Amino acid sequence: MSAEKTGSVLVVGAGIAGIQASLDLAESGYYVYLVEGSPAIGGTMPMLDKTFPTNDCSMCILSPKLVECGRHLNIKTYTCADVVDVQGEPGNFTVTIRQRPRYVDVDKCKGCGECAEACPIDVPSEFDQGIGERKAIYKPYAQAFPNAYVIDKENCIECGACEEACQAGAIDHSMEEETIELKVGAVVLCPGFEKFDASKLAYYGYGRYPNVLTSLEFERILSASGPFQGHLVRPYDKKEPRRIAWIQCVGSRNCRVEHGYCSSVCCMYAIKEAVIAREHSKEPLEITIFYMDMRTYGKGFEKYYERARNEQGVRFIRSRTYEISEVEDESKNLRIRYAQEDGSICEEEFDLVVLSIGLEPSSSIKELGRKLGLTMNEYGFAEPAPLTGVGTNKPGIFVAGAFSGPKDIPETVMQASAAAGASASLLAEARGTLVKEKEFPPEKDVSGQPPRIGVFVCHCGVNIGGVVKVPEVVEMAKNLPNVVYAGEYLYACSQDSQAAMKQIIEEYDLNRVVVASCSPRTHKPLFQETVREAGLNRALFEMANIRDQCSWVHMHEPEKATEKAKDLVKMVVAKAALLEPIPQVSAGVTKVALVIGGGVSGMTSALSLADLGYRVHLVEKEQQLGGVARRIKQGLKGEDIPSFLSDLIARVTTHPNIQVHVGTEVQAVAGYVGNFVTTLTDGQEVQHGVAIIAIGGEEYKPTEYLYGESDRVFTQLELEEALAGGDPRIENARTFVLIQCVGSREPQRPYCSRVCCAKSVKLALKLKEKNPAVNVFVLYRDIRTYGFLEDYYLEARRKGVVFIRYDSANKPLVEKGDSALKVTVTDHVLGVPVVIDADVIGLASAIVAPESNRQLSQLFKVPLNEDGFFLEAHMKLRPVDFTSEGIFMAGLAHGPKNLEENIAQAKAAAGRASTILGKDQLESHGVVAVVQQDKCAACLTCVRLCPYNAPKIRNYAAEIEPLLCQGCGTCAGECPNKAITLQGYKDRMQMAMSRALFREV
């Protein structure tokens, strides 16, 4: 009999997956140990310039998560650390970690960079993919957490220069390796991927030709934080390229180098890089992408591709290039010889060639996987347990991110939330047992008191002090109105300075605190915590950024920089005098979930939450559970779907925490996060804290290819059912034609339905399995068997399934023949028509959003995208959240996905929902907008503008729900009668700042 379960989780790998899983778990009541091999968390995302399909700046969207993860009270991060062993059983594992020496004390290091300035050794920067340089003591990237340097002992010459330069005394060359043992209840593995070594394909000349780069190198070139500050130049001669080619599938879809799988992300990232490169280039840029099948299968991807092709002038050439040769002059330009689709040969010159390198599992994690006894696939990726999304063959060990197969950021984040949810369900009984909560002294009441401001000016080592004359700033500050204390600190953020600050607040009876130092982005929460510990409300703190915005950017003008620093302090002090405490608004949480949709996704979400101990109402409009999965007979890996489904339904219907409502729909929704009241069409009223929308999708009813006119034309789902049911039309057929993209990738439905290529390949294999003598033709536009699905595509070709590619401008023609259906399509290689007498035609018809999406969108006030699917809060980092808090989505309602992916998303939605249900009280997000009701004319401007549905009209005046308000202040800016103000950013504060700046004190 096992002991009680442990309420902590080990997360291995601190890329976006590890960060997301850690945050979800910590927010849901579990203590997290986050172990990362490199010196900083962040993984690959910080290296990327922009992200598809939104072109968001990668660092910008990641940075808040880095800060949140780094600061979280219930996440303990180990960097430079490896997991050596995991022993035990689900609920109780003992983990051994090897902590490699960093040679820099993370607690003492302030990240000021003086040590690196002093270090004489230049090393190619891993972060910049070797294009730029770093020192032997370095911080991987500017926003890294921990914000601390690390010594690379392989390159360090132990000259001692860094030790001398470090004023914080953080450097310790004598650190040694340590072994740490941890007790955890579950393990989430998300170690990410490594990039394919392009020099393995010698014919592309990577490593020999200076103007052949990898896609990740190109990201660094594009990046504003990269070696060329975002100027698009060739590393070889710093000249701006005019013609760039991308070559796809470098290290993917390549059996010769045992990388037979598709890396899933390269088509999209190549298009993104191409589009961004054009934006970066001052001169016109010719862009060419050489590809085989354009795999833009994700949400919003197809439109991104179409836009690149039709509007942004990216040229797409369907050809796998044979070789790259170098032009024989000093330009070292590159020549590519390639075959066009008709077989004619072209040769073109390019200034730069970018190799779209694939993803592969890292060798160290393969080793760990073997040690843990995980099932790995032939390529060394983890093989998730079927239809679990995140499970492995080892109970209690979950996987997320590219470790379980190449995937993009949204899917990685989704899987991470799912793995967090699955771990949480496993450890439900231990929830909340190991998490800590910070205790603070009661807040002092400062109302009515005249402002007593303390100003703390930071030297930041020599970062500020080396340029700005800090003592002068302090002297000036002492003379400002309301200032009762001003002092200077070597590092304001160090432990001892923090202690001093608390003491001075006490001693001088300060009721406002100003720190003049670095960026509020990284340090404001830290200082706010300190003032809170001293009994002041967090809002009574303000920062002046005299480093990033002053000393760093005016390094050569110390006089003017000092002037500016004084001004900045003056302004912030003026604002500080007006600061008011902001009370945290909180509300209780109804620990009940409403899940709408009784298909696989909805049931999976419901079960996950029910296993966590929350009550769940599951609403299904039909009379029985199961949804569209009732029509699916086999999963993509051959799983028995009917038995999976009946098992799932049994678990849902017998679960004590789940109440199933069939034959009903949602009629009305009221309330907000934590406290919703939903009325069902059967009149029942449900109180719930969160809602998950998982109402599924529908199969498009084709109007093309004689569907409905001939009983031998089936949709994919119909064909699957007929095949399983022994339909004589199928049994007796000799020739099958499967037509792809029926209703998808069309002007009226410009998205890819994602699942149909793999589905048709599987159907073709099934037909061949039943009778190898049948002829199966698959007519396609691009085969999109991403990831390991590519293996099935290969298998189908080997089994004799014939694939013929058609263009949207030249679609197959289906006519009624004498006994069979006559299909005419042009062979893409031979260029002549192929006439096929088909006995059966299968149409891969699109997945469409159900009509009820629109209705639910109105009831919950959540948005749909142009295609009628629900629109997530953020395509990349919040793939299952709505912008409105407390409402989540899963499954086909979000967009086309296969069963396995839907299950992962359903678990992710549950995982995200549990971060709310896990709390007893919900607190507002710091600053919120408030309405002065007597000034409000109820003009509805705020109601119309707010993206979060926070303002409501009550008694002829607006009211802003603080739990929904995100604090952007758009309503305050726009309010015609100035009835709305944003806490901490009131107009009079800004005006006081400008007055302080221009009027001498």
- Of the two residues 54 and 932, which places its CB atom closer to another protein in the complex? 54
3 state SS of 784: coil
Query: Residue 611 or 782: which CB sits closer to another protein?
Result: 782
CB of 974 to another protein, least distance (A): 6
Looking at the Cβ atoms of 820 and 848, the one nearer to another protein is 820
Task: Output 458 or 612, the one with its CB closest to another protein.
Answer: 458
Least Å distance between CB 54 and another protein?
Answer: 7
Taking the CA atoms of 203, 208, 212 and 217 in sequence, report the sign of the dihedral they define: positive
To which H or E segment does residue 323 belong? Answer: strand 323-326
CB nearer another protein, residue 49 or residue 302: 49
Among 148, 171, 397, 568, binds another protein (CB under 8 A): 568
State both tokens at 107.
Answer: 């607690």
Least distance between another protein and beta carbon 506 (Å): 28
Q: How far is CA 444 from CA 362, 531, 749, in A?
A: 53, 11, 60
Which residues within the stretch 403-422 sit at the binding site for another protein (CB under 8 A)?
none
Is 159 a binding residue for another protein by CB under 8 A? The answer is: no
Decide: helix, strand or coil at residue 175. coil
Q: Which residue, 325 or 703, is less far from another protein as judged by CB?
A: 325
Binding string, residues 784-803; x marks residues near another protein by CB under 8 A: ----------x--xx-x-x-
- CB of 125: closest distance to another protein in angstroms? 17
Q: Which of 174, 177, 256, 437 binds another protein (CB under 8 A)?
A: 256
Helix (H) or strand (E) holding 840: strand 840-845
> How crowded is residue 249: how many other Cβ atoms within 10 Å of its Cβ?
22
Given candidates 206, 246, 304, 338, which one binds another protein under the rule CB under 8 A? 338
CA–CA gap between residue 357 and residue 317 (Å, rounded): 18
Q: Report yes or no: 844 and 738 within 8 Å, Cβ to Cβ.
A: yes
Binds another protein (CB under 8 A): choice among 561, 579, 758, 936: 561
Question: What minimum distance in Å lies between the beta carbon of 832 and another protein?
Answer: 6
Q: Report the nearest approach of another protein to the CB of residue 341 (Å).
A: 7
Quick check: 282 binds another protein (CB under 8 A)? no
Find the shortest distance in angstroms from Cβ 292 to another protein.
5
Three-class secondary structure of residue 570 per DSSP = helix
CB closer to another protein out of 108 and 797: 797
CB atoms within 10 A of CB 85: 15
User: Can you tell me which of 21, 477, 660, 836 binds another protein, judged by CB under 8 A?
Assistant: 836
Residue 505 CB, shortest distance to another protein, in Å, is: 23
We find the least distance from the C-beta atom of residue 967 to another protein, in angstroms, to be 6
- Triad 131, 132, 137: Cα angle to 5°: 135
Kindly identify the residues of this chain, within the stretch 716-735, that bind another protein according to CB under 8 A. 735
Examine residue 837 and tell whether it contacts another protein (CB under 8 A).
yes
Does residue 254 interact with another protein by CB under 8 A? yes
Interface with another protein includes 180 (CB under 8 A)? no
Is 554 a binder of another protein (CB under 8 A)?
A: yes
Q: Candidates 430-438, 555-563, 649-657, 685-693 — which segment interacts with another protein by CB under 8 A?
A: 555-563
* Cα angle, residue 377 at apex, residues 374 and 383 outer, rounded to 5°: 55
DSSP 380-415: S-B-PPTTSSSB-SSTTEEE-GGGGS---HHHHHHH
Q: Does 835 bind another protein (CB under 8 A)?
A: yes
Sequence-distant (6+) residues with CB within 8 A of 180 are 78, 81, 96, 97, 98, 99
List helix spans (H) across 870-1001.
Answer: 899-917, 941-945, 970-974, 987-998
Secondary structure tally for the chain: helices H, strands E: 24, 52
- Within positions 82 to 121, which residues make up the interface with another protein, using CB under 8 A? none
Which of 27, 82, 217, 563 forms a contact with another protein (CB under 8 A)?
563
Question: Among the candidate windows 3-11, 32-40, 197-205, 950-958, which touches another protein by CB under 8 A?
Answer: 197-205
Q: Which is nearer to another protein, 401 or 410 (CB)?
A: 410
Amino acid code (one letter) for 218: F
Residues 200-229, one symbol each (x = binds another protein by CB under 8 A, - = not), give -xxx-------------------xxx---x
453 φ, ψ to 5°? -100, 135
Q: State which residue, 254 or 634, has the beta carbon closest to another protein.
A: 254
Q: Which is nearer to another protein, 210 or 260 (CB)?
A: 260
Q: How many residues bind another protein (CB under 8 A)?
A: 98
CB of 248 to another protein, least distance (A): 10
DSSP SS3 for 420? helix
The one-character DSSP state at 66 is H
Q: State how far the Cα of 619 lies from the Cα of 621, in Å rounded to an integer.
A: 7
> Under DSSP, is residue 912 helix (H, G, I), strand (E, B) or coil?
helix
Q: Which stretch binds another protein (CB under 8 A): 36-44, 52-60, 687-695, 751-759?
A: 52-60
Instruction: Evaluate whether 6 touches 184 at the Cβ level (below 8 Å).
Output: yes
Residue 1001 C-alpha from the chain's centroid: 48
* Subset of residues 57 to 86 that bind another protein, contact rule: CB under 8 A: 57, 59-60, 63
**Window 288-327: residues binding another protein (CB under 8 A):** 292, 318-323, 325
Specify the stretch interacting with another protein by CB under 8 A; choose among 381-389, 403-411, 498-506, 982-990.
982-990
Nearest approach, Cβ of 249 to another protein (angstroms)?
7
Q: SS3 string of 717-754?
A: HHHHHHHHCCCHHHHCCCEEEEEEEECCCECCECCCCC
* E strand spans, 71-230: 75-78, 81-89, 92-99, 122-124, 133-135, 137-138, 150-151, 178-184, 186-189, 194-195, 212-214
Residue 440 binds to another protein (criterion: CB under 8 A): no
Q: Which of 553, 551, 546 is nearest to 568 (CA)?
A: 546
Distance CA(303)–CA(896), nearest Å, equals: 15
Tell me which stretch binds another protein (CB under 8 A): 179-187, 406-414, 424-432, 992-1000. Answer: 992-1000
Closest distance to another protein from the beta carbon of 373 (Å): 32
Whole-angstrom distance, CA of residue 956 vs CA of residue 959? 10
Interface mask toward another protein for 753-782; x: CB under 8 A: ----------------------x-x-----
In the complex, the smallest distance separating the C-beta of residue 331 from another protein, rounded to whole angstroms, is 17
Q: Is 991 a residue that touches another protein (CB under 8 A)? A: yes
Q: How many angstroms separate the Cα of 908 from the Cα of each of 189, 390, 403, 602, 724?
A: 16, 10, 17, 12, 32
Would strands 50-51 and 56-57 be described as parallel, antiparallel, or unpaired? antiparallel
Q: Which of 130, 230, 535, 581: binder of another protein (CB under 8 A)?
A: 230
**Dihedral pair phi/psi, residue 288, rounded to 5°:** -130, 135
Among 927, 930, 931, 950, binds another protein (CB under 8 A): 927
- Among residues 54, 646, 659, 932, which is the contact residue for another protein, using CB under 8 A? 54
Site for another protein in 582-611 (CB under 8 A): none
CB under 8 A: which stretch of 75-83, 337-345, 485-493, 684-692 binds another protein? 337-345
Instruction: Establish if 466 lies at the interface with another protein (CB under 8 A).
Output: no
Residue 52: CB minimum distance to another protein, A: 13
Q: What phi and psi values does residue 102 have, to the nearest 5 degrees?
A: -95, -20
Q: Pick out residues in 932-961 that bind another protein (CB under 8 A).
A: 945, 947
In whole angstroms, how close is the CB of 61 to another protein at the nearest point?
A: 9
Output b/e per residue, 129-167; b: 16+ Cβ within 10 A: bebbebbbbbbbbebbbbbbbbbbeebbeeeebbbebbb
**What are the percentages of helix, strand and coil residues in the chain, rounded to 5?**
30, 25, 45
